[in-house]
Amino acid sequence: MTNSLRTPSRNDLEAGAPPVTPTIADVDLIRVEGGARLNGEVAVVGAKNSALKLMAAALLAPGRTVITNVPRITDIAIMAEVLRRLGCQVEITPDEVPAGRQGPPPSVVVNIDVPDEPGTEADYDLVRRLRASIAVLGPLLARRGYVRVAHPGGDAIGSRGLDMHVAGLARMGAEISGEHGFVIASAPQGLQGATIWLDFPSVGATENLVMAAVLAKGSTEIDNAAREPEIVDICSMLIAMGAKIEGVGTSTLRVEGVEALSPVRHATVGDRIVAGTWAFGAAMTRGDVLVNGVDPAFLDIALDKLVSAGGVVEPEKTGFRVRMDDRPKAVDVVTLPFPGFATDLLPMAIGLASVSDGASLVTENIFDGRFMFVNEMARLGADIKTDGHHAVVRGRERLSSAPVRATDIRAGAGLVIAALCADGITEISHVHHIDRGYPDFVGDLSALGVEVQRAAAPEDPQFSF
């Protein structure tokens, strides 16, 4: 296996796979036959947005940390390589295959052996592909007193600066500078506890600051902290490692620094965004889907919107059930930090509005580039007009099939779900984006009754290498 011109594949998430250096992603496509009604049961595994940060948190304690219920996605392979280059030994083993499921398991177990002195530099070629890798900034600064991390990349959904990360660490005594595309932070005397106010409840900044604070000297208070379930998950793991954190799940986190932490075994919280994708898919296709593996409280507002649209939502023992018998009614949606409507579900909200009875106003308050995929929805016949961070969507009874392109993880999933409401066969290209957030999207669709196929996109002879 070579390390050039490729992104980590699903095979790289099997035990014993060699390290890889992702550069150019394969361009696959998904073919979907419209008119399907999602029906059946789907299991949701651990949240990508939590698992990646849990892997970074492992750097805080020398020894072996084991993280279970990790989604089998390409981003996990990239983060594993980030940790390997920091001197960690990372082994990824398949989880058990759920009863009745065909193909590879949707989740894996990540075993991370952290050395006494991990490395201090995260390479550009990996960090540029995975924004979550900036999460190594806080733990490495706390452990080593110095870190050099490339500016992160990730999905093209708008500006996501590091100002709050940097300002918070500076209040804790870090000296921070930038050069040649890298953030360089040092704290030779160690980090000191401080009071930090976040201008916005940023998930990434909250994670980095709490990971830095657990080993800082004295007390740290983070006000206007993010409250997402993924924040609760990482705090729960840190507490199990020996950290002292109060206010978990509220907007004020109080952290009392400790001398050292110990490695643990921790299960990743279920992925509310994947669960929300299936919930909206059931509503859009007038289907009936039981979603297992996620606490419905994580999706209170999103599920309430589906009820307002005419759906039936029932909590279950290990998840929830969504059923829509008639054409959905139009509802307005405004994205906000948790516990508000999640920005990652905006493509699904646009999809629902596109086939609803009436006009919907969808407002995006988090990322300025979330509406980039609207042009692709228009190719499917959706009637959408955008103005700044607002979109007015007039629903249609049916959409029409067309070739479309996934522009990011959630937009890709949203386009596939929207294609189920179109006549004919729709091809969605650049679906490697979807692989970064959904362990076996095609397999789950097939199990829910969709005629779906994944294939390699044909090469254009004019532009082949």
Give the mean model confidence (pLDDT) for residues 180-208. 91
366 known member of a binding site: yes
Confidence of residue 370 (pLDDT cuts 50, 70, 90): confident
29 and 100 co-located in one domain: no
What pLDDT, on the 0 to 100 scale, is given for residue 155?
40
* pLDDT tens string 2-50: 332 233 444 445 443 433 333 334 468 999 999 999 999 999 999 999 9
* pLDDT tens string 43-63: 999 999 999 999 999 999 999
Choose one of 248, 267, 286: the last residue of a domain.
Answer: 267
176 and 283 co-located in one domain: no
358 is a domain residue: yes
* CATH of residue 395: 3.65.10.10
46 is a domain residue: no
Confidence of residue 124 (pLDDT cuts 50, 70, 90): confident
Question: Which has the minimum average pLDDT: 175-184, 274-283, 289-298, 405-414?
Answer: 175-184
176 and 234 co-located in one domain: yes
What pLDDT, on the 0 to 100 scale, is given for residue 270?
96
Choose one of 223, 250, 267: the last residue of a domain.
Answer: 267
* Stated pTM of the model: 0.90
What pLDDT, on the 0 to 100 scale, is given for residue 459?
59
Q: Is 26 noted as a catalytic residue in this protein?
A: no
What pLDDT, on the 0 to 100 scale, is given for residue 1?
30
- Decide if 421 contacts 382 (C-beta within 8 A): no
165 is a domain residue: yes
30 known member of a binding site: no
48 known member of a binding site: yes
- Decide if 374 contacts 340 (C-beta within 8 A): no
239 and 96 co-located in one domain: yes
Q: Helix (H, G, I), strand (E, B), or coil: what is residue 213?
A: helix
Give the mean model confidence (pLDDT) for residues 268-272. 97
More confident residue, 232 or 97: 232
Residue from 123, 155, 408, 440 carrying the catalytic annotation: 155
- How many CB atoms are located within 10 Å of the residue 465 CB? 4
What pLDDT, on the 0 to 100 scale, is given for residue 98?
60
Choose one of 267, 300, 317: the last residue of a domain.
Answer: 267
CA distance 281 to 316: 18
Q: Edge to edge, what strands does the sheet with 63-71 contain?
A: 89-94, 107-114, 63-71, 265-267
What pLDDT, on the 0 to 100 scale, is given for residue 105?
74
231 and 278 co-located in one domain: no
227 is a domain residue: yes
β-strand pairing of 312-315 with 182-186: unpaired
Please name every residue paired with 70 in a beta bridge, in sequence order, or none if there are none. 108
69 and 37 co-located in one domain: no
305 known member of a binding site: no
| Structural domains of the chain, count | 2
261 and 280 co-located in one domain: no
Range(s) of the domain holding residue 88: 63-115+118-267
* pLDDT tens string 315-358: 998 999 999 999 999 999 999 999 999 999 999 999 999 999 99
239 and 319 co-located in one domain: no
Average pLDDT of the chain to the nearest whole number: 88
β-strand pairing of 390-394 with 383-387: antiparallel
10 is a domain residue: no
243 and 289 co-located in one domain: no
290 and 433 co-located in one domain: yes
Confidence of residue 288 (pLDDT cuts 50, 70, 90): very high
282 is a domain residue: yes
**Smallest Cα–Cα separation from 195: which of 166, 163, 234, 168?**
168
291 and 217 co-located in one domain: no
72 and 196 co-located in one domain: yes
